[in-house]
Amino acid sequence: MKINWNYPTSVWVGENRIKDLAEACKNLNISSPLFVTDKDLVNLDMTKKIILENKKKFNNLPIYSNFSGNPIGENVEEGVIEFKKNNCDGVIAFGGGSGLDVGKAIAFMSGQSRPIWDFEDIGDYWKRADENNIAPIIAIPTTAGTGSETGRASAIINKASGVKKIIFHPKFLPSIVILDPILTIDLSPRLTAATGMDALAHNLEAFCAPGFHPMADGIAIEGMRLIKKSLLIAFKNGKDLNTRADLLAAASMGSTAFQKGLGAIHSLSHPVNAQFNIHHGLSNAIFMPYVLSFNRNLIEKKIVSICDYLYLDKNFESFLNWILDFRKELKIPHKLSEVIETKKIDLKILSQMALDDPSTATNPKKLTIDDMKILYEHSISGELF
């Protein structure tokens, strides 16, 4: 399979499409790219081979990798320094959510004079940006979860406040995306599960978000079907390229769909990611059934309407039980208290952070700080609503 899609951006799909990276740079008139990836991925043989092959095709291919999961603003600042020092004219963002988010943010901030926090996803803050010097981006995901490759934002932690901020601008959207399932075959079962559940959370919350956006709804439903079809197979057999391709597509679809909105799964996750460095997909998976059952009276009809398409009995309990069984088969913990010591959790602080999160606004049910506290309490005890 070798296919090119053009929604929501140019997406090059198929096995070994990574070999077309230099051609992608040429298409965007990038002659001196900055290769951005995280400190763990840069040391893998797969990444070293890709860098070595492409160094032969460019006079200059500097690398920035001084960051790991849940990146902070200072990581972006360091990357911008490398970008300018090496006279780069584009960014290759390579990796999971952190690599893609940092790479996109570096390309964006390379053309700005204001601090990154001035472009938080609030109102029309994005209009503050100087659009003339934003560098082009090529995004290459090596996990199938965040969907950042088709997103117009980056999630970056403000170290001073300890809050994960969503930095937004339409030009965060990469110009070319390369979806190559071969790059994901060595992903561990644990990360396959967590990133796959992240993609499921994106599609599910986008579908449940209020508002009229039938295109997003349609994408989200098919994204959920692909995950239901393929995630368990990839978890058990990571070498299955067909399922790996399904999951890459579903992740990109989730990010495309959630321009409609997200919800409390993400509101609860972001503070936990920032405060405890818990993997975002894992926390989304943990919170999922609690938020589903909390929102039930406002989403039940929508959930029932898609059960046929997902080969489930047409009732809310069937969908919720599928989520619970799915998590169990993927060895996802049922309770937040299984991954964080309860004594370290300050519900007052986390609840306020969750309420203030941008995802809260599009949760189907209007949320209060007491609701957030109750949701955290249920996720700690394991009791559904």
Q: DSSP class of residue 364?
A: S
Instruction: Give the CATH number for residue 329.
Output: 1.20.1090.10
Q: Pick from 80, 84, 50, 79: which is nearest to 65 by CA? A: 79
Structural domain for 31, as ranges: 2-183
Judge if 251 and 166 occupy the same domain.
no
CA distance 173 to 168: 10
- Give the pairing type, strands 163-168 and 153-158: antiparallel
Residues 173, 61 share a domain: yes
Distance of CA 192 to the CA centre of its chain: 13
Provide the 8-state DSSP code for 309.
T
Q: What angle do CA 329, 332, 336 make, to 5 degrees?
A: 150
Residue type for position 354: A
Helix intervals (H) in 60-134: 73-85, 97-109
Residues 146 and 202 reside in one and the same domain: no
Looking at the structure, do residues 199 and 71 belong to the same domain, yes or no?
no
Q: At what angle do helices 189-208 and 296-306 cross, to 10 degrees?
A: 110
In the chain, how many domains are there?
2
pLDDT digits (tens, 9 = 90+) for 150-160: 999 999 999 99
Q: Are residues 166 and 204 in the same domain?
A: no
202 with 279, same domain: the answer is: yes
The predicted pLDDT at position 60 comes to 86
Give pLDDT, residue 43. 94
Euclidean distance between CA atoms 267 and 379, whole angstroms: 13
pLDDT tens, per residue, the chain with 385 residues = 788 877 899 999 999 999 999 999 999 999 999 999 999 999 999 999 999 999 999 988 999 999 998 899 999 999 999 999 999 999 999 999 999 999 999 999 999 999 999 999 999 999 999 998 899 999 999 999 999 999 999 999 999 999 999 999 999 999 999 999 999 999 999 999 999 999 999 999 999 999 999 999 999 999 999 999 999 999 999 999 999 999 999 999 999 999 999 999 999 999 999 999 999 999 999 999 999 999 999 999 999 999 999 999 999 999 999 999 999 999 999 999 999 999 999 999 999 999 999 999 999 999 999 999 999 999 999 999 9
Q: What CATH number does residue 81 fall under? A: 3.40.50.1970
Q: Which amino acid, 166?
A: I
CA quadruple 301, 302, 304, 306: dihedral, nearest 10: 160
Boundary residue ending a domain (118, 148, 183)? 183
On whether both 324 and 239 belong to a single domain, the answer is yes
Q: Are 372 and 229 contained in the same domain?
A: yes
Query: What are 9-64's pLDDT values in tens digits?
Result: 999 999 999 999 999 999 999 999 999 999 999 999 999 999 999 999 998 899 99
